[in-house]
Amino acid sequence: MSRNCLPALCVALPACLALAACDGPDFSRIAPLEAGALPASPTNAHADDPKAAALGQALFFDADLSADGQVACATCHQPEHGFGDPRPTSPGAFDRPGSLHAPGLLNVAFQRVWMWNGRVDHLWSQPIQALEHPAEHDFTRVELAHRIAGPYRPYYESVFGPLPDLGDLPPRAKPGDDAWAALSAAQRDAIDRVAANVGKAIEAYERKLLCTDTRLDRYLRGEGELTALELQGAAQFLDRDQGDCARCHGGATLSDGAFHNLGLERADSDELGRPAGLQALVDDPFNGEGDYSDDPTAGRQRIEAMVLAEAPLGGFRTVPLRGVAQRAVFGHRGDTDRLRTWITTVYRRRGRRGRGDGDLLGQRSSLIRDPGNPTALVAFLQTLSCPPLPEALTRAPTATELAEAMAWDAAATVEGQP
């Protein structure tokens, strides 16, 4: 029997039995996450294509997709750390410092919006931003096309069709560069489409990074038990009159997908949160209603809903909680290294009123509550720890594995392919 059915049963039970059955947490506010419930990605026609996923996995682990040849997606989204970064922020190409923490990617496909300020409306457009950001990969989309045309050409063309002619392109160019401005409109469009397809392949891989079998998920399915301390923490988490954590961290994903200002210190004057992210999303040529979307109508509907939603100043995305106790650091700047400290600082003390809050402090969410006993709450959150992924998903695929994914004869693969 599903645990979240218990409150409903109380109506029919005799009083004495109802008290015993219903004295625990109200688990109806959360639900187990099922791998089969993975939401569709209508703007990416290749989201569930195994060939695209194999290509995306190879690209995810390729450090040559960076200006100095040292930064892969996996450099900051490390498999051994839940595809996140144990460091507060991630140094990019040439060791340039980042400003925000690289969050984990487990269950990333269940999210409704991406990046801390939500400037990405579909998962496939996120890698493009990271690849071209000067403090991350510092690559350009023309360099990306050249790289794809080298060792990845047969794999790319097996999924997306022929590559454009790259013979007259400069070695490096992106929007804002003189070299990019010198290209024809047709050349720019062809390169943008390659970049979009690379993002779609990486999304297909990231949709396989799932955490759906935690102890809490098994408990909610009636397949296990929790300790008394864990149940106490669950009660604090779910109680509307106490912690009420489930108001933002509820449902199957344990996130409302919304944006909230927690009253944290600002790192700099540009840290505006959701308002800046929403404007960047609308202006992004790779958003869901743009020319490179496979379903602009669905993309437009999502963007319209986002524009109408609340966009608080200083608000950042509610992070899903599966795997939270396995993370090394917390918050959008990764400046807290213990889960208990994060809970007591942000929620029990209602945010850090340190230097730099300014006008953002006045926008702090009214939803912040004292969650009660942090020891019990941490014990409950530890029931959300993720089991290991299959080893084959945590590394670059071999040439043989790529060939098998493409349904080729492994003996026919070209020597030197990734």
CATH number of the structural domain spanning residue 123: 1.10.760.10
Q: How many domains does the chain have?
A: 2
Q: Within this chain, do residues 352 and 401 fall inside the same structural domain, yes or no?
A: no
Q: Is residue 205 part of a domain?
A: yes
Q: Measuring CA to CA, which residue among 51, 76, 75 is closest to residue 63?
A: 75
Q: Within this chain, do residues 153 and 265 fall inside the same structural domain, yes or no?
A: no
Q: Within this chain, do residues 192 and 110 fall inside the same structural domain, yes or no?
A: yes
Q: Which tokens is 12 given?
A: 């029919």
Q: What are phi and psi of 336, to 5 degrees?
A: -125, 130
Burial class (CB in 10 A: 0-12, 13-18, 19+), 389: middle
Q: Within this chain, do residues 192 and 252 fall inside the same structural domain, yes or no?
A: no
Q: Within this chain, do residues 219 and 119 fall inside the same structural domain, yes or no?
A: no
pLDDT in tens, 309-360: 888 888 889 999 999 999 999 988 888 899 999 888 877 655 444 333 334 4
Q: Within this chain, do residues 148 and 260 fall inside the same structural domain, yes or no?
A: no
Question: How many CB atoms sit inside 10 A of residue 205's CB?
Answer: 22
17-21, 285-289, 342-346, 372-376: segment of lowest average pLDDT = 17-21
Find out whether 230 and 204 touch, Cβ atoms under 8 Å: no
The Cα 359–Cα 141 span in angstroms is 38
Q: Helix 185-206 to helix 141-149 angle, to the nearest 10 degrees?
A: 70
Q: Within this chain, do residues 221 and 96 fall inside the same structural domain, yes or no?
A: no
Q: Within this chain, do residues 164 and 254 fall inside the same structural domain, yes or no?
A: no
The Cα 193–Cα 215 span in angstroms is 42
Q: Helix 141-149 to helix 153-160 angle, to the nearest 10 degrees?
A: 100
Tell me if residue 78 falls in helix, strand or coil.
strand
Q: Within this chain, do residues 223 and 87 fall inside the same structural domain, yes or no?
A: no
Question: How many CB atoms sit inside 10 A of residue 121's CB?
Answer: 28
Q: Within this chain, do residues 203 and 220 fall inside the same structural domain, yes or no?
A: no
The mean predicted confidence, pLDDT, of the chain is 87
Q: Is residue 351 part of a domain?
A: yes
Q: Which domain holds residue 261?
A: 26-30+213-272+316-382
Residue range 83-105: mean pLDDT, rounded:
94
